Structure 1
Amino acid sequence: MQFIEPVILWGTLAVVVPIAIHFWHQKQGKLLPWAATQWLLEKQQQQSRGLRLDNLLLLLVRCILLILLAVLLAQPILNWASKKPAITQIHLVQPNPTVADNFRFELAEALKKGERVIWANSTLEPIQADLKSSQSPGSFGPLTIQSAINQVNLSNTELHLYINNNQALADVPAIVVPSRFKLHSIGDSSTQPRPYIVVKNGRRLFLNRAGQLVSSPLLDPALKFQAEPTHTGPIHTLVAFKNVREQQTVKASLAALTDVYGLDLLVEEKSVPNQLYDWVLTDQLPANPSLKTLYVVSGTVQHPTTDNVITTDETLTPQTSGRVETGQLPEWLGELLIRHYGLASFTQPLSQQELNALFVPSAKPKTEQQAGLQNALFLLVLVIIGVERWMALTKNA
């Protein structure tokens, strides 16, 4: 038998309370007036040895009642009566070439065994033998991980999660995983090839060894970079706000980013049908957001479940936004952009203790099994309460 809340079983120690009350009640005794007390004077002068347990059955019923109540609150689960089902293996992999290459042997063995091996994206695309995804990885973060886990049928399965360990995982307080769970992560970020993007005039935009964003004609030869840039050429940007002042403020911030880092932003103010934008800044939540597009939505308190949709409840004007008033809007937009392209993922990885605290297992027993046992225990508690009250009233105890 297992318990969902085993800590409450310490409540069974309360069984000492009725026992203590019982002995204290007998120690005090009761005065019964009787005319022939002179015949008992000699008997009263004798010392009474030992303890007498009056109403022993009532005491036992009260003790059992407290123990059953503690067991009921601990929510027991009976799993010995049913045959344990076969456990299947599911491998959920971050759509990142570095992660796939690092765990190539484990994933190849899982594919040989016929186990389910899938990419952690919106479509849960099956992984082929070449370990290459037909989709762009897009923005990947803790919300993407949680969304992929929620989509997988985890009944009678053991989940294996393969991810890149970085500080971005700590953007959420916790990631809920099943009770059968194993984490496989790349802990040393220094050995991973860094991403970069190619901006105006062929300049490379990347993070240097100090973690600073650099725009340079050549990549740093002391660092290891990916074979291909994450993005090349103009960044198609849509700026569409109903508020004219907000529209002007955002466009000015994008112009400042272009001057500092040499970004090649192709800004449009009206949406073109069938045009896939790289960056959309607006005050309207997208109906069908693309994973390849970074959305920055102002003036909303809703929180989407995808990492590429960033929302803020501020209207981006100097009168309504602290970021705009203090001149931090260009910096904030730049951080969102480099995170979207993965440039900021090469920070100090989380420690093992931080990772263990981040992934919280959720044990969900079978609802029918738990409900049946809970109802039976609750009915038994009610019956024992009725028996205890009847015995107490009958014996005036």
Structure 2
Amino acid sequence: MQFIQPLFLWGIGAVIIPVIIHFWHQKRGKTLAWAATRWLQEKNQQPQRGVKLDNLLLLILRCFIVVLLAVLVSQPTFNGFGKPAGSQKIHLVQPDKSVVDNFRFELEDAIKKGEAIYWSTAATERLNDPEQLPDQRTFTANLLQSSINVLQKNNSELHLYLRNNHQLADAPFIRVPASYKLHAIVDSGRQPVRTYLELPANKKLFVNPSNQLTNGAVLNPTLRFQPTPEHAGPLTALVNFKNKTEQQTIVAALNALSEVYSLGIRVDIKRNPQTGYDWILTDQEVVNPVPKTLYLVSGKLKTPTSANVIYSEEKLTPQTAELVRTGQLPEWLGECLIRHFKLKPSAFPLSRQQLNTLFIPTAQSEKKQPERVRNWILFVFICLVGVERWMALKQNA
């Protein structure tokens, strides 16, 4: 048995309180002179003191209640109930021929060992033969997250087999079990044509060969770029949130992003009807999105219907979002900007740092068995308190 809040176990020391109170009431009192006592017999004047059996049971009951309360607030967990014998390996494979060919040895070895292997599809189909690819070849980050949620089990080790390209970063993050291993291959095609932004002061914003967002007076001559920019002029953003804390957080992140890359983003808190916004960040539902505008909607769990609308399940505040707590919000906003303006080709591989940021390990959820045990402890505690009150009132103790 383990405790989530073991410090509260010091509360067991409070068991001395009912003991002290009990013996305080049992001590001999001081005799007070009273005229009528001279008519009473001597034996009737002797108070009956000492520890009675009933009072002793009441004392034990009160001490047990204190101990039970300390154990209850310490939140015990019983890891021994229903614990699997060993860790189970689960393999999740992107339905792609190059992925299968590259990891054929690992997949065939897993099949020989009888380990569970699945395709990352809408139905999360069981893989029996690596040569037979499923009919559905569409692969997105949201589809990958859905398959992971289906296969995530207690005490399991998840192995992911993927093609490393920028398509993975369509979602702000991908939650994986605490025990996971990533097997990724890099696309090896010819150098793709890139896009860039034309900023004020004749600065150009693009992604350099190191897969980093940068700007300069001229484009990198070793890369291939489109003849015209994807966007020209200053960037305008509308930040419209009902939650003032979230609004201040977003504004600060945009200012940090703008300062680092010299973007000169103009941020409006209230909508200007005469301004065509390049970026709208809000916690309200988007109706009829403008195709060239990037929308970021927080606190919504929905499947995007437009490529320029991004939904974040979490509200972007330090209390609710890990991106904000870890200081990664400006970086993620920059990734959203890169994807919207297609500054990085879809076949461009992610860096190791980006992969580590994208995949967020999460602890396994608590089993229901310890929760039921704690509920029973709470039920016993309430019953004992009721019995103690009944005995105390009956004996006037």
TM-score using structure 2 length: 0.50
Alignment partner of 1:90 is 2:87: no
Name the CA distance, whole Å, in 2 between partners of 1:196 and 1:307.
30
Q: Work out the CA distance in 2 between the residues paired with 1:309 and 1:109.
A: 39
CA shift for structure 1 position 104 = 3.8
- Whether the aligned pair in 1 keeps the contact of 2:161 and 2:182 (CA below 8 Å) is yes
Greater mean alpha carbon deviation, residues 62-71 or residues 24-33? 24-33
Which residues of structure 1 form unaligned runs of 5+? Answer: 37-51, 221-233, 235-253, 261-281, 286-293, 314-328
Q: Per-residue displacement from partner, 1:135-180 (whole Å, max 9, x unpaired)?
A: 555543xx44422212337478653334578997697477253x7x
| Residues 1:93 and 1:363: Cα distance change in structure 2 (over 3 Å) | same
Kindly indicate whether residue 13 of structure 2 is the aligned counterpart of residue 13 of structure 1. no
Tell me if structure 2 keeps the 8 A contact 1:93–1:119: yes
Residue number in structure 2 paired with 1:263 = none
Give, in whole Å, the separation in 2 of the partners of 1:174 and 1:96.
20
Matched to 1:14, the amino acid is G
**Per the alignment, in what secondary structure is the counterpart of residue 160 of structure 1?**
strand
When residues 359 and 123 of structure 1 are mapped into structure 2, their CA distance, relative to the original with a 3 A threshold, is same
- Cα offset for 1:351? 8.8
**Aligned residue in 2 for 1:182:** 180
The whole-number CA distance in structure 1 between the counterparts of 2:6 and 2:18 is: 22
Say whether the 8 Å CA contact 1:92–1:118 is kept in structure 2.
Answer: yes
> For 2:374 and 2:367, how far apart are their aligned partners in 1?
12
- Paired residues for 1:46-125 under 5 Å: 57-73=57-73, 76=76, 80=80, 89-94=89-94, 103-125=103-125
TM-superposed deviation, 1:14: 0.9
Partner amino acid, structure 2, of 1:119? W
The letter of the residue matching 1:129 is P
Distance 1:76 1:110, change over 3 A: same
Match of 2:130 in 1: 129
Alpha-carbon distance in 1 for matches of 2:339, 2:152? 38
Q: Is the 8 A contact 1:295 1:308 kept in 2?
A: no
Structure 2 residue 346 is matched with structure 1 residue 341: yes
Change (3 A) 1:379 1:208: closer
**Is the Cα contact below 8 Å between 1:146 and 1:175 reproduced in 2?**
yes
Q: How many Å apart are 1:109 and its aligned residue? A: 0.9
1 CA distance for matches of 2:219 and 2:9? Answer: 67
Distance in 2 between the 1:97 and 1:212 partners?
Answer: 31
What is aligned with 1:377?
377
> Superposition pairs for residues 215-364 of structure 1, below 5 Å?
256-257=229-230, 284=288, 298=295, 302-305=300-303, 309-311=307-309, 332=337, 335-338=340-343, 341-343=346-348, 345-349=349-353, 358-364=360-366
| Equivalent in the alignment of 1:197 | 192
- Residue of structure 2 equivalent to 1:251: none
1:210-269 deviation digits (Å, cap 9, x = unpaired): 64699999979xxxxxxxxxxxxx9xxxxxxxxxxxxxxxxxxx9742999xxxxxxxxx
Partner of 1:359, secondary structure, is: strand
Distance of 1:114 and 1:146 partners within structure 2: 24
Contact 1:89/1:159 (<8 A) preserved: yes
Can you give the 5+ residue segments of structure 2 that lack an aligned partner in the other structure? Answer: 35-50, 196-205, 234-285, 312-333
State the distance in 2 between where 1:134 and 1:215 align.
42
Structure 2 CA distance for aligned equivalents of residues 296 and 111 of structure 1 = 47
What SS does the corresponding residue of 1:31 show, helix, strand or coil? coil
The amino acid that maps onto 1:146 is Q
Distance 1:258 1:116, change over 3 A: same
